[in-house]
A and B are shown apart, each in its own frame.
Chain A
Amino acid sequence: MGTLLKNMLRFILLILVQVYVLDRIHLHYMVTPYIYFLFILWMPFEGNRAAQMLIAFALGFTLDSFHHHPGFHSAACVLIAYLRPFMVNLLISQQGAENNYQEPSAKSMGGFIPYLVYAGMLTLVHHGWLFFLEAIQFGDVWYFIVKTVFSTAISLLLIMIVELLFSRKQAFRTNTV
């Protein structure tokens, strides 16, 4: 399957799952898990960063359109798309590993822990920025902090479950850097 087709399918599926399954969940009137930004976490190592940010904006804008209030998810998605390469550089185990595999996963990042940190940090940033933008209108700091922490935990749990259920097969491409 071509990279483009694969990513288009992911885009559509993740948005549909988010809108029609996860957005209905509202634990304790507080926690709604988000996993649609897995699309951004799973984007290939290679590629123009500006273009990746634009695609992230499109992803966020699509979800926002379903909520009829644009801006929240677009802003959060663009931010994590910008931070993603830094996280990859920081956490990847050996130099040149991003040339051996196509996209971030537990295998390509050299272990489950680095990948968990990668996903966890970006989830925290995404949720933090998203809820911050929501919270400045209501202005309740504690509610914002508690909501961010719990939502991040639940989202991360779901992301790891998705990761285990749908293992992405990745060929080892080459060892010549």
Chain B
Amino acid sequence: MHNLFLFFRRYFNFIVLLLLQGFSIYLLVHYNNYHNALASNFMNEVTGKVNTQFNKVDYFLKLRNTNEALVKNNERLTNLLNENFERQDSSNKIVNEDILNDTTGRKRKWQYFSAKVVSNSVSAQNNFIALQRGAGQQIKKDDGVVDLNNGVVGIVTDVSENYAVVMSLLHKDSKISAKLKRSGEVGQVIWDGKDPNRLSLIDIRKSALVAKGDTVYTSGFTTTFPYGLMIGTIEEIVKDKGTNNYILYLKSTANFYNIQYVYAIENLQREEVDQLIKNANNKVNN
């Protein structure tokens, strides 16, 4: 017993080192648990407040770019207005009283919420973006996030009362189901941890028709993103020697260096789909 105490006294510092290293690496590996924890909520609120203050300067300096993006998007939306199209006959004007259902029986599936970016990084191997809009302002976990020109940015992983944290596409765990516009092949968009604004598209067979400059957009197979949001264009085509697949390097549509405002996209029918898949899984397992 005496020797045991002596041992602890002799190696106390080393034991503290091991404990703290162990705790750090636990946090690092199980960061998903951390994102659900109370401490993470608290730290999100604190860093969110500090970020908001410093972002005021950054925001002012980048007003010009934000404005350009908004004008472009506004142009696109204005072109979609009903007033731009002339009706030849004198049919009645349709008035929508309910936002969720219109008279032709269509149901709203996706809803966009604008959010201000308060912090953003591209320099780490795992990058996150913080938004100044949280659970109290209708942002939910697993919402898809796009920039002002509808280029995919990431997925919401964590929400606190007033802030949300988005896992950027520039993250090792980021995996987005994507489709080639020309040939319709479906693959996964990941990031190799090096060059921001350069993503990789994998799982495309070598028999597929690909060319430089081809558009890649979301496949709509997940409940996170609607069909047809642009992810990037093919910049370089590499044949993976080990497998029967290509590795396609993409230039991302979203410029990750310069994000000031984003839209979080909520899937209003997510619960229904998730529930259905869960039921199906239960049936198979039992």
- Which residues of A approach B to under 8 Å, CB–CB? 16, 20, 23-26, 29-30, 32, 49-50, 53-54, 57, 60, 64-72, 74-75, 78-79, 82, 133-135, 137-138, 140, 143
Contact = CB atoms under 8 A, between A and B. Distances in A.
A70 B31 contact: yes
Contacts of A54: 16, 20
B17 A78 contact: yes
B20 A57 contact: yes
Contact of A70 (B17, B28, B51): B28
Interface in B1-48: 12-14, 16-17, 20-21, 23-29, 31, 34, 43-44, 46-47
Interface in B147-197: 158, 165, 172, 192-196
Contact of A78 (B24, B46, B125): B24
B128 A133 contact: no
B193 A138 contact: yes
B122 interface: yes
B20 A74 contact: yes
14 contacts: A16-B54, A20-B54, A26-B122, A30-B194, A32-B123, A50-B16, A53-B17, A66-B119, A68-B44, A68-B158, A69-B124, A70-B28, A75-B24, A137-B126
Contacts, number: 103
A143 B122 contact: no
A79 B119 contact: no
Given A69-B28, A71-B27, A138-B193, A78 B20 contact: yes
B48 to A, nearest CB: 10
A68 B125 contact: no
B13 A49 contact: yes
B13 A71 contact: no
Contacts of A32: 123-124
A71 B21 CA distance: 9
B234 interface: no
Nearest to B12: A50
Given A75-B28, A137-B126, 8 more contacts: A60-B24, A68-B158, A70-B28, A71-B31, A74-B27, A75-B24, A78-B17, A143-B194
Contacts of A137: 125-126, 172, 193
Contacts of B158: 68
Contacts of B122: 26
A130 to B, nearest CB: 10
B130 interface: yes
B46 to A, nearest CB: 7
Contacts of A82: 13-14, 17
B28 A72 contact: yes
Contacts of B66: none
B124 A67 contact: yes
B121 interface: yes
Contacts of B165: 68
